[in-house]
Amino acid sequence: MSARPNAAATAVTTVVAEAVETATESADPCCAAPLPVLGRDVTVPLVTGGEVTYAALDYAASAPALQRVWDDVAAYAPYYGSVHRGAGYLSQLSTDLFENSRATVAEFLDCRPGDQVVFTRSTTDSLNLLAAAVPADCQVFVFETEHHASLLPWGSPHAPGRGGSDARVTYLDAPRTPARAVEILERALAARDPHGPALVCVTGASNVTGELWPVKELAAAAHAHGARIVLDAAQLAPHHPVSVTELDVDWVAFSGHKLYAPFGSGVLAGRADWLQDSQPYLAGGGASRKVARRADGGVDVEWHTTAARHEAGSPNVIGVYSIASACKALTEAGFDALVAREDHLIATVRAGLAEVPEVRVLSLFGDDAPRVGVISFVVEGWNSSHFAAALSAEYGIGVRDGLFCAHPLVRTLLGSDPQDPGECGAPEAAPGERSLNAIRVSFGAGTPDEHVERFVGAVKELVRNGAQWKYRTEDGRCVPDRG
């Protein structure tokens, strides 16, 4: 069904033109203006007095909404209606918008003919969906360096044939070079017994170190050994173009809330056969084509074979449209310019941190490894939660501290024993004491230079002079002591 001309589309077209003009106002990509994001003018109070514009440097957790995305959603909102099968104008318009968004995402990912784009709630949801769809005799191979969203679904009791003692998951050790990652995978795949179906799950960019993984080479290795591969692109898609065809991956998963579209949607895109052969991820309306009573009193169900098979229930139309809007905005801004500008920000942060001897940046592949705007580090003599709290309370800078839902990787990078205590976001040591966690700064297309410059200056000042305020632990968080 083709899209119909409507007032919402006219409004969106105007917003697109304004966004592209803003993003391309500078000829030098390193000096190009950041893409406008929602909340860029928000001010926050400082515990030391006064207010400052908030520096959002936690993009790896959730990126702020692009202003373009927000405006597109607002333009559509009056036309919101039920999706699929509705006879009314707004229902048909919303159905067109929903399905056209699917086509936009497929184009953004450079999907192959026949690939399916399934809308989910998040990357976690997407990978759990795929885990429920793998054949029961499939072996799964995953590096210990993965985010928990990629690390944990394969042994879930909700995945047929994969729960409890029947789970056939091989966890691979952290490699120290991209070439070593390929070697480890090839050896593991060649040694599998029996030599049946296999699936490899790998990240495109680490949510801890920001380092890019050799996805194309890993895909080639997987296919050479008769395995398939799914790419966790949650941290890659917001920063670099992702081509399913060029990388030759079988599936890709990502989240809207990291792609400047925080409205509760995600994507699983790729080959249709395993998805068509599996039971629906959720049973209900939308996934079923026909339901009829049998003579014996039971119910027969004929399920869809399209992406709808795994999209039961009323879909999140606004979330889906927001992802499509973000895909268009990033494509029109041009990834060459976005990457060049982000590389400039990365260089600024890394150079600044390198000037502080007490700072140790965490890395798997070394200083020269290509990366996205995600950098984790520890500071000698500081509890990481205390340091992050001081950045927020005294400088208006939002970063993240903890193990970043990648516990095995952070433990490896910190050189800790697997049994050492530590958990995400819970400072178990007092301010000033060593703790098993780190600090992560992350940024992207909406980050102005001033935010990273303020961050570097704040790190230097805190290490040199210490915090200006006292802090205490409250409900698992390090907070200013106001009492």
Supply the residues annotated as catalytic.
405
Token pair belonging to 278: 């599996």
> Which residues, at least 6 apart from 110, have a Cβ–Cβ distance to it below 8 Å?
242, 243, 244, 245, 246
Q: With contact defined as beta carbons under 8 Å apart, do 316 and 331 qualify?
A: no
Dihedral angle, C-alpha 348, 480, 404, 427, nearest 10 °: 130
Please state, in angstroms and as integers, the Cα–Cα distance from residue 160 to each residue in 85, 138, 202, 287, 363, following that order.
32, 11, 21, 19, 36
- Strand-strand pairing, 374-379 and 198-203: unpaired
| SS3 assignment for 41-59 | CCEEECCCCCEEECEECEC
Query: How many whole angstroms from its chain centre is CA 138?
Result: 26
Q: With contact defined as beta carbons under 8 Å apart, do 315 and 119 qualify?
A: yes
Beta bridge partners of 53: 43
Token pair belonging to 172: 């691979």
Q: With contact defined as beta carbons under 8 Å apart, do 200 and 218 qualify?
A: yes
- The residue assigned the tokens 């592949």 is 365
Token pair belonging to 375: 């950098």
d(C-alpha 49, C-alpha 45), whole Å: 7
Token pair belonging to 155: 């042994």
